[in-house]
Amino acid sequence: MTGNAVSIPLQSRFRDAMAGVCSPVAVVTSRDGDRPHGTTVSAFMSLSMEPPMIAVALDHSSDLLAAVRAHGRFGVNVLAAPQHEIAGAFARKGAAKFDGVPWTDSGGVPKLAEVAGWVACEVTDLVVGGDHTVLFGTVVEAEVGVDRPLTYFARTFGTHLPHEAPLTQGAS
Ligand X SMILES: Cc1cc2nc3c(=O)[nH]c(=O)nc-3n(C[C@H](O)[C@H](O)[C@H](O)COP(=O)(O)O)c2cc1C
Q: Does position 39 bind ligand X by CB under 6 A?
A: yes
Q: How far is the CB of 108 from ligand X (least distance, A)?
A: 18
Q: Does position 55 bind ligand X by CB under 6 A?
A: no
Q: Which is nearer to ligand X, 4 or 16 (CB)?
A: 16
Interacting residues with ligand X between 61 and 90 (CB under 6 A):
62-64, 87
Judged by CB under 6 A, the residue of 46, 92, 105, 125 near ligand X is 92
Show the binding pattern over residues 116-135: x = contacts ligand X (CB under 6 A), - = does not: --------------------
- C-beta nearest to ligand X: residue: 43
Q: Does position 151 bind ligand X by CB under 6 A?
A: no
Please count the residues of this chain forming the interface with ligand X, following the rule CB under 6 A. Answer: 17
Judged by CB under 6 A, the residue of 19, 47, 81, 91 near ligand X is 91
Q: Does position 57 bind ligand X by CB under 6 A?
A: yes
Task: Kindly indicate which of the ranges 37-45, 73-81, 117-125, 137-145 contains the residues binding ligand X, using the contact rule CB under 6 A.
Answer: 37-45
Q: What is the DSSP string of the chain?
A: --TTTTTS-HHHHHHHHHHTS-EE-EEEEEEETTEEEEEEE--EEEEEETTEEEEEEEETT-HHHHHHHHH-EEEEEE-BGGGHHHHHHTTS-SS-TTTT--EEEETTEEEETT-SEEEEEEEEEEEEETTEEEEEEEEEEEEE-SSPBEEEETTEEEE--PPPPPPPTT--
How far is the CA of 105 from the CAs of 2, 29, 31, in angstroms?
50, 10, 10
Q: Which is nearer to ligand X, 27 or 139 (CB)?
A: 27
The residue type found at 11 is Q
Using CA atoms, how far apart are residues 90 and 88, in angstroms rounded to an integer?
Answer: 6
Positions touching ligand X (CB under 6 A) are: 25, 39-43, 57-59, 62-64, 87, 91-93, 152
